[in-house]
Structure 1
Amino acid sequence: MPHILIVEDETIIRSALRRLLERNQYQVSEAGSVQEAQDRFSIPGFDLIVSDLRLPGAPGTELIKLAEGTPVLIMTSYASLRSAVDSMKLGAVDYIAKPFDHDEMLQTVARIISDHEQATTSHAAAPRSAGNTAAAPAGNGDTAIGIIGHCGPMQELFGKIRKVAPTDSNVLIQGESGTGKELVARALHNLSRRAKAPMISVNCAAIPETLIESELFGHEKGAFTGASAGRAGLVEAADGGTLFLDEIGELPLEAQARLLRVLQEGEIRRVGSTQSQKVDVRLIAATHRDLKTLAKTGQFREDLYYRLHVIALKLPPLRERGSDVLEIARAFLARQCERIGGEPLHFSREAEQAVRLYAWPGNVRELENAIERAAILSESPEISADLLGIDVELDELEDDFEGACAPLGAASSSNEPTEDLSLEDYFQHFVLEHQDHMTETELARKLGISRKCLWERRQRLGIPRRKSSAAG
């Protein structure tokens, strides 16, 4: 059983991390500072050290030399991202931003321990071996990718990820907000030859426009008011690894021009500098916006768009992933049970139907938040549909919920014009015309579909059920 040392001065974080690791079959010791760790333990004797960057007394980076080859994983806040990258230059094996996702922490810990064991075994078996070859990613299938998804679109996406990851091609990930675009970027990085180098994630929408160029490309001393010292940018910090730019559609045009230079020439120039320097980064970008349309209207550089669009990966929204939504919901519920402790929780039948029926406009992020709220508020082991807090009228859930969504029929005897209307147009026209005097069952029967399918199409097209409806 791998033995991990946690060095963290905040008791709550330290205890939570310890419980998480122990539940996943790791032996754990802990300390509140570098000095305490030195006094209590033989630091090189651990399989992994997980340490906060900022500690009372000496910083967490002091553990790197004390570890004598044992890998050190640094935890830090997003605000201290550069310091975390600097710690990797000092020898830390990786960093993780707080507050960290539990799955991300477990995947990172497992990968580091596995890589260290492989390196140790290889060194013992071939001590005179020279050269540096990238290790192939361990395992295969969805486990290696780390994303739940058994529906057709997700399986197709996984196949593309496995094919694209080993290359250095730029990738553009497209999908609605909350669909998990950063998880796809992380999978591409972890399955690439750059997996042991840093992946720097930047949310372009979260950085003020006046600071974005300095944050990305760095600046020289005196480049602008307040620049009292030169600083490396996040592109430079990603040298040798992967740069993930989330919401790249929000990047200002000036910064887009600088980014294009990185992609074309493989070099950057800090703000206020006349000197360029080479960088080797793989760019993965993500957006929920239509960059092609933005390019046509002059809001996004067309040349940058084509540079980014070498490989395009499309993440389907949660409402199009069929039974995946329930599997994801159960995984989130299991994680919440671990976090809050106590007895295991499960969904009622009505709650499972509500999860399947609701359109989840906020996608996976909305689903996770709903389940976290329900798990916290639940007063029994069973999660009721009401606790999910979503707008689904439960009196409309019937036993035929699992029925297939049949094609739209032409069973209506009404005289609505159908010429030049798509099936979706026809559906919308029919429902809006008749929902005041027909029940949901009658509407579905006339359209030749199940009530489940009727509700799904309502959600997709944004046609709420009128409260004055005669449905019963």
Structure 2
Amino acid sequence: MPRILIVEDEDIIRSAVRKLLLHAGYTVEDVSSVEDAEQHHDPDSFDLIISDLRLPGVPGTELIHRAPNTPVLIMTSYASLRSAVDSMKMGAVEYIAKPFDHDEMLAAVEGILSRTMAPDPEERTTGTDAREDGDPATIMYGECEPMQRVFTLIRKVAPTETTVLIQGESGTGKELVARALHLSSPRAPYPLISVNCAAIPESLIESELFGHEKGAFTGAVSARTGLIEAAEGGSLFLDEIGELPAEAQARLLRVLQESEIRKVGSTQSRKVNVRMIAATHRNLKAMTRTGEFREDLYYRLNVMQIRIPPLRERQGDILGLARRFLVTLGKKVGKPELSLSPGAMQALQRYRWPGNVRELENAIERASILCDGTVITPSLLDLDSEGDDELIPETLVEGNHEQQPPRTTDNTSDLSLEDYFQHFVLENQDRMSETELAQKLGISRKSLWERRQRLGIPRKKTPGS
């Protein structure tokens, strides 16, 4: 079993990562600094080192030199993103941004170990083993037909160089899809750089992506490598790409068209070999109509689209996911015998899950902590605390055709609930107020507003709205 060393000075994070890896079956040791690691262990005897970037004493990147035969995964925050890029240049195999979820950390660890512990480096380079290790079914859970279609599409697209646009609501697992695409491709031995475009201040986004020269702006005391260049040979995952400002969109378009970048403050361009994977929870097509997103960039990104269904469209997966979370989270809180009551299972299936898989995991963890016995009841899940807005409306439940909102065209019968919502709002918002739209859809005005935000549907000002 692979041995992993955790180097983290924050007790809470160190303990959480330790428990996560132990439950996944790894042998784990943990220390609070590089000095402690060398005093109590031989860092180079481990199969993987997971280290925080900023530590008391010397930084975590020092382990790259002190354990030259062991891969190092750097943990960092977006505030230290530039240092993370530097750590990749120094030899770190990958970095993971805080805060990260359990699946993200486990996928990163599995991906690194699958590449570094393979017996034949040539096999890793050709991608045969990498495709098996990066199979989406081993990274994500999905037994329902919509998710099986997603897995099939990932397997077909991953070996190509095609640009991919991942669309899905927050919490559906867009980053896991990006990781599966990368690990299933010939680029698996090279970096996967993940960037949340919404988490970087607008004034810094171009410098972070493209790098900058010394003196390019106030505070640029030295030249910096951008995230695109740091992903050389590998993949760049741009999450929430709909949040990119206009100038950055224009520069990114040039990367896609010419495969070259120019640092901020530089007059020279250089070629880059990077596969682009983008993701958004917004409706980029609608944003092109309002001028918020460049139409030419949209079509460059939308060569191949992978849509992750929201959890409410994955009825067959809800209980399976809940049971998986119950096993891992039950062990985490010291209650491995937990189970769901019939009422709790019914409540899980009826709830709409606006936060998707991430919300489901949080609900199971909360219930696991609060449960005094071994059976989780509906009250512990606390899914109705915000009223009935998040329950599946009777007017939209499959099979109930009497009170559905009137259809405006004849081609909506094969649309999902989310597609139907977008179609209905865009077709009727010019002649209906927000109150009328909400009434026809069987939801509250608050839910209507939240879904507009989630799907990127701009609101048009109409009389009475």
TM range (shorter): 0.7 to 0.9
Q: Find the counterpart in structure 1 of residue 243 from structure 2.
A: 250
Counterpart selection for 1:331 from 317, 324, 332: 324
Counterpart selection for 1:342 from 330, 335, 339: 335
1:104 correspondence with 2:97: no
1:66 correspondence with 2:66: yes
How far 1:313 moved relative to its partner? 0.9
Task: Check conservation: 1:350, 1:394, Cα contact below 8 A.
Answer: no
1:283 correspondence with 2:276: yes
Task: Check conservation: 1:9, 1:55, Cα contact below 8 A.
Answer: yes
Residues 96 and 344 of structure 1, relative CA distance in 2, 3 Å threshold: farther
Q: Find the counterpart in structure 1 of residue 175 from structure 2.
A: 182
1:419-430 equivalences under 5 Å are none
Residues 460 and 327 of structure 1, relative CA distance in 2, 3 Å threshold: farther
1:364-443 equivalences under 5 Å are 364-391=357-384, 407-408=399-400
Task: Check conservation: 2:23, 2:328, Cα contact below 8 A.
Answer: no
Residues 262 and 93 of structure 1, relative CA distance in 2, 3 Å threshold: same
How far 1:297 moved relative to its partner? 3.0
CA offsets 1:410-448 (integer angstroms, 9 cap, x no match) = 7x9xxx999989799xxxxxxxxxxxxxxxxxxxxxxxx
Task: Check conservation: 1:358, 1:392, Cα contact below 8 A.
Answer: no
Distance in 1 (CA, whole Å) between partners of 2:214 and 2:124 is 39
Distance in 2 (CA, whole Å) between partners of 1:183 and 1:350 is 31
How far 1:61 moved relative to its partner? 2.1
Distance in 1 (CA, whole Å) between partners of 2:33 and 2:405 is 75
Q: Secondary structure at the match of 2:112?
A: helix
Distance in 2 (CA, whole Å) between partners of 1:406 and 1:375 is 31
TM-score normalized by the length of structure 2: 0.79
Distance in 2 (CA, whole Å) between partners of 1:229 and 1:29 is 37
Q: Find the counterpart in structure 1 of residue 257 from structure 2.
A: 264
Q: Find the counterpart in structure 2 of residue 319 from structure 1.
A: 312
Distance in 2 (CA, whole Å) between partners of 1:139 and 1:336 is 27
Residues 392 and 356 of structure 1, relative CA distance in 2, 3 Å threshold: farther
Distance in 1 (CA, whole Å) between partners of 2:383 and 2:196 is 28
Distance in 2 (CA, whole Å) between partners of 1:190 and 1:4 is 21
Question: Structure 1: 5+ residue runs without aligned partners?
Answer: 124-128, 396-404, 425-457, 465-472
Residues 269 and 460 of structure 1, relative CA distance in 2, 3 Å threshold: farther
How far 1:188 moved relative to its partner? 0.8
Task: Check conservation: 2:127, 2:184, Cα contact below 8 A.
Answer: no
TM-score normalized by the length of structure 1: 0.78
Task: Check conservation: 1:354, 1:394, Cα contact below 8 A.
Answer: no
CA offsets 1:363-399 (integer angstroms, 9 cap, x no match) = 223222322322233333222212222239999xxxx
Distance in 2 (CA, whole Å) between partners of 1:419 and 1:326 is 32
How far 1:185 moved relative to its partner? 1.2
Q: Secondary structure at the match of 2:279?
A: strand
How far 1:71 moved relative to its partner? 2.1
Q: Find the counterpart in structure 2 of residue 19 from structure 1.
A: 19
CA offsets 1:130-170 (integer angstroms, 9 cap, x no match) = 99544532537966551111111111111000000111110
Q: Find the counterpart in structure 2 of residue 48 from structure 1.
A: 48
Counterpart selection for 2:142 from 130, 143, 149: 149
Q: Secondary structure at the match of 1:80?
A: helix
- The percent identity for this pair of structures is 62
Distance in 2 (CA, whole Å) between partners of 1:205 and 1:45 is 39
CA offsets 1:323-370 (integer angstroms, 9 cap, x no match) = 211211222233322332234322211111011011122222322232
Larger radius of gyration: 1
Task: Check conservation: 1:153, 1:316, Cα contact below 8 A.
Answer: yes
Between the two proteins, the alignment pairs up a number of residues equal to 411
1:80-229 equivalences under 5 Å are 80-118=80-118, 121-122=119-120, 133-137=126-130, 139=132, 144-229=137-222
